[in-house]
Amino acid sequence: MNAIAEKIPATVAGYKTFELGGFTFLRDEYFVTITWPVKDRRQSHTMSADAFLRALMRDVAWGFFYGVVNFDHVFGTRNLYGKVEFFGGRLNEHYHNNGLSYVEVFDTPRAMKLIKEILADWCNEGFDPFAAPLETGDAAFGEKHGNNLKAIDRFRVATRRMPGLDGDSPLRGDDNGYAINRAFADVAQDKPVIKAEPGFEGELHAFNLFAYLSRSDVTWNPSVTSVCKNSLFCPTTEEYILPIIHGNDRVEWFLQFSDEIMWNITDKETGRPRARVLMKAGDVAAMPADIAHQGFSKKRSMLLVWENGNPGIVKMHESGEIPPYPVTF
C-alpha cells in the first residue's frame, strides 16, 4: 500500500512544496517531510523545520562542502564536485539493508538553484538559520510569515591569503556591520603593533584573529583566514549543535581556540557510534576520513577547522592510496 499520496499539494500552511528528481520536499507549521521512491511505494522522512533549514543553509553557503552533509541520520547530500548526490537512507544501514534507501545525482547548479528556492520560501521573517537558537527564537515555526532573504544571502568569505591585506577579504568591525557577539563581550579587541620600514608598509601584516572571530555573526560556518598553498585555516564560532552530521571525504583537523565542544563520532557508511571527543581550549584532534561528526557547543566557542583543499585527495582516499588516519604512531 502506498501511504504517500502520488500528488503532493502545491502549498501547505502557505509554504510551497518542491520536487527534485525522485525527491519531494514539503513543509508545514513545524516539520519538513521528504519522500523518495522505494520498491513499489514512497518512503517518507520527517525532520523539524528549523533543523532542516539550518542544514540546508550550510549546503547553500558551502556549495555542498567537502564530502557528506547529513541533515540527520537518514537524509543528506554528498558532494561529487560538479555534481551532487541527494540520498535518503543511504548512509543508514537499516534503511539501506532493507532496500529503503534512494540515491539520485544532479548537476550542482540545478540542485543549488532548487535548494536556494526552498530556503527563500521556507525561512520566515525573523528566522536566521545561521544564528543560535537563543538569538533567533522560534520564528522558524508556524504558518508562513514573510521571509529573511538578507540572512540567507550571506556567503562563505573567500580569502586568498589573509583578511585585511590589500585586495583580500575585509577585517570585521563596527563600521562594516560586525558587532561583537554577546557571548564574546569579554574578548580583547587590541591590535598587533606593526612597525614597517619605509617601502614595506604593505608587506608586513597581522590582525587580532580572536577579535575577528568575536565579531562573527554566524555559527558553524567556517571561513578562511590564512592560505598556505592547499592548507586552509577556516576558523568559525560555534553555539548549540552543528546543524549537520559531517561525513568526511578527507582528514579534517580541529584546534579548539576557546571554550569547549563535545563531538559525537559515527561511522561514515553505517552511522554506528564510534567515539565521543571532548575538546577544550588548546586541544587538537583529527577527524579521520572514514567518520562522520557532529558537535555540541554549550557556550559560543572559537574553533579552528583546518582543511586540505587538494582536489585530488578524495580519489587518494577512495583508492586506498592513503589511509583514513593522518598519522601512524
What type of residue sits at position 295?
G
**CB of 196 vs other proteins, minimal distance in Å:** 4
Pair 52, 244: CB distance under 8 Å = no
**CB of 315 vs other proteins, minimal distance in Å:** 13
Q: Is 10 exposed, middle or buried (0-12, 13-18, 19+ CB in 10 A)?
A: exposed
**CB of 119 vs other proteins, minimal distance in Å:** 30
Part in contact with other proteins (CB under 8 A); list of ranges 39-47, 56-64, 68-76, 194-202: 194-202
- Nearest-angstrom CA–CA distance, 90 and 223: 29
**CB of 236 vs other proteins, minimal distance in Å:** 15
The residues in 287-326 that bind other proteins, with binding defined as CB under 8 A, are: 287-288, 299-300, 302, 306-308, 310, 313, 322, 324-326
Q: Which of 186, 311, 319, 320 binds other proteins (CB under 8 A)?
A: 186
The residues in 251-280 that bind other proteins, with binding defined as CB under 8 A, are: 251, 253, 255-260, 265, 272-280
The residues in 19-78 that bind other proteins, with binding defined as CB under 8 A, are: none
- Nearest-angstrom CA–CA distance, 75 and 64: 14
Q: How many C-beta neighbours within 10 Å does residue 119 have?
A: 23
**CB of 161 vs other proteins, minimal distance in Å:** 7
Part in contact with other proteins (CB under 8 A); list of ranges 20-28, 71-79, 139-147, 182-190: 182-190
**CB of 207 vs other proteins, minimal distance in Å:** 6
**Residue nearer to other proteins on the CB measure, 178 or 207:** 207
**CB of 100 vs other proteins, minimal distance in Å:** 25
Residue with cell 533543523: 51
SS3 213: helix
Residue with cell 555559527: 219
Q: Residue 87, interface with other proteins (CB under 8 A)? A: no
The residues in 107-136 that bind other proteins, with binding defined as CB under 8 A, are: none
Among residues 156, 21, 155, 158, which one has the least CA distance to residue 84?
21
Among residues 76, 73, 74, 45, which one has the least CA distance to residue 58?
76
- Nearest-angstrom CA–CA distance, 277 and 285: 9
Edge-first strand listing for the sheet containing 31-38: 18-20, 23-27, 31-38, 41-48
Part in contact with other proteins (CB under 8 A); list of ranges 28-36, 81-89, 90-98, 205-213: 205-213
**Residue nearer to other proteins on the CB measure, 105 or 316:** 316
In residues, how long is the chain?
329
Q: How many C-beta neighbours within 10 Å does residue 321 have?
A: 10
Q: Which of 145, 146, 204, 318 binds other proteins (CB under 8 A)?
A: 204
**Residue nearer to other proteins on the CB measure, 3 or 185:** 185
Q: Residue 6, interface with other proteins (CB under 8 A)? A: no
What type of residue sits at position 289?
A
Number of residues near other proteins (by CB under 8 A): 78
The residues in 146-165 that bind other proteins, with binding defined as CB under 8 A, are: 161-162, 165
- Nearest-angstrom CA–CA distance, 112 and 46: 21
